[in-house]
């Protein structure tokens, strides 16, 4: 219980600092690789507190990253079990093996990169897992999606496979999803929600609580961490850049990431797919990817 106790003074310090963002920035956590300043309570040994989700509607407290990842581990395994019984988990096909293979190859390359450079590996305690799901939407179309959860739990949907098209394409999407987990984007989001929840608890109880309540199917717990929290534009751009670096470290052809986005545009008639949020636009992403490739190739050669 001790670790769940929250120091009010410490917490208020963290919360108020976020308001005076200019004051906190110099001491903010830094995202590895991009060095972007990031507000992550766990870097201050502060718990993340969500307004509801605990037993009896009490606030849910995630004491530290280990605690959060342990909770997610249980929920992810439960999700996989239910997906299996609903027959939406694809297993032992060439596609599902590919997803696991490429996911492991990229995560191993990240580990090798940090070992080789004698740097502290930010994901050394992640338990990577990669699943392929076969789910249709209400209109009967295969869902084109991929998501990640903190601690390294990644899912691909079969509908996105024609867009990925080949190993380099899968690696492009995989690199992007791994990047979200690597950069603790969900933890950052939860930190923001945590701040808001203390500041404007009433508002959050209405909006955030309702969204979760409305989605109380098997995805309930998973979406809380994986899907319902949209990433910001900065996070998406960061994941695009990091995704490229991971592709390069793992020896994949980075050029294919541009082709993936072109296929994404065609497949969706230029409409925004569920996969990744509405911003930045595909055009922007393609332009960025083209601009970054040369630099990434030099800075992050294949390990
Ligand atoms: Zn993304």
- Has 177 been annotated as catalytic? yes
Tokens standing for residue 94: 């060439």
- How far, in Å, is the centroid of ligand 1 from the Cα of 12? 31
Tell me, yes or no, whether 187 lies in a domain: yes
Tell me, yes or no, whether 53 lies in a domain: no
Cα separation, 180 vs 152, in Å, equals: 9
- How far, in Å, is the centroid of ligand 1 from the Cα of 254? 17
| 269 secondary structure, DSSP code | T
Degrees, nearest 5: CA angle 199-204-210: 170
Tell me, yes or no, whether 59 lies in a domain: no
- CB neighbours of 294 closer than 8 A, spacing ≥ 6? none
For residues 88 and 49, the model is more confident at 88
Per the structure, the count of domains in the chain is 1
| Residue 129 β-bridge partners | 153
Averaged pLDDT for residues 118-146: 94
Tokens standing for residue 46: 């502060």
Interval 13-36: pLDDT, tens? 333 333 334 334 344 678 999 998
Instruction: Output the pLDDT for position 198.
Output: 56
- How far, in Å, is the centroid of ligand 1 from the Cα of 46? 26
- Helix runs in 153-231, H state only: 161-164, 167-182, 185-199, 201-213, 220-226
Cβ–Cβ under 8 Å, residues 38 and 30 = yes
Tell me, yes or no, whether 48 lies in a domain: no
Of the listed 177, 236, 238, 256, which one is catalytic? 177
Averaged pLDDT for residues 36-40: 81
C-alpha dihedral (212, 199, 10, 152), degrees to nearest 10: 30
For residues 214 and 51, the model is more confident at 51
Residue with tokens 């308001």: 19
Tell me, yes or no, whether 126 lies in a domain: yes
Domain that residue 122 falls in: 73-299
Tell me, yes or no, whether 169 lies in a domain: yes
Tell me, yes or no, whether 131 lies in a domain: yes
Q: Is the pLDDT of residue 299 over 50?
A: yes
**For residue 41, what pLDDT band results from cuts at 50, 70 and 90?**
confident
Interval 242-282: pLDDT, tens? 999 999 999 999 999 999 999 988 876 655 554 555 567 88
- How far, in Å, is the centroid of ligand 1 from the Cα of 6? 32
Tell me, yes or no, whether 136 lies in a domain: yes
């Amino acid at each position: 219980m001790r670790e769940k106790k929250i120091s009010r003074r410490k917490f208020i310090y963290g919360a108020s600092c976020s308001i005076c963002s200019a004051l906190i920035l110099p001491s903010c956590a830094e995202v590895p690789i991009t060095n972007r300043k990031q507000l992550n309570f766990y870097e201050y040994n502060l718990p993340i507190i969500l307004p509801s989700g605990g037993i009896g509607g009490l606030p849910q407290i995630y004491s530290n990253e280990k605690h959060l990842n342990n909770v997610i581990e249980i929920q992810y395994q439960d999700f996989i079990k239910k997906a299996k019984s609903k027959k939406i988990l694809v297993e032992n096909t060439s596609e599902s093996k590919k997803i696991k293979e490429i996911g492991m190859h990229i995560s191993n390359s990240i580990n090798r990169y940090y070992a080789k450079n004698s740097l502290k590996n930010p994901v050394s305690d992640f338990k990577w897992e990669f699943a392929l799901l076969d789910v249709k939407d209400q209109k009967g179309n295969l869902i084109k999606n991929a998501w990640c959860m903190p601690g390294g739990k990644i899912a691909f949907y079969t509908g996105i496979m024609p867009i990925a098209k080949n190993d380099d394409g899968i690696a492009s999407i995989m690199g992007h999803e791994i990047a979200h987990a690597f950069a603790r984007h969900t933890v950052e989001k939860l930190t923001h929600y945590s701040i808001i929840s203390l500041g404007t608890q009433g508002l959050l109880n209405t909006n955030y609580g309702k969204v979760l309540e409305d989605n109380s199917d098997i995805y309930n717990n998973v979406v809380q961490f994986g899907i319902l929290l949209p990433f910001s534009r900065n996070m998406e751009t960061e994941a695009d850049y990091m995704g490229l670096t991971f592709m390069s470290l793992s020896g994949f052809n980075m050029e294919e990431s541009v082709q993936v986005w072109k296929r994404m545009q065609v497949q969706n008639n230029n409409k925004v797919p569920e996969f990744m949020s509405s911003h930045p636009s595909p055009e922007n992403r393609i332009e960025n990817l083209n601009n970054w490739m040369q630099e990434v190739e030099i800075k992050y050669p294949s390990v």
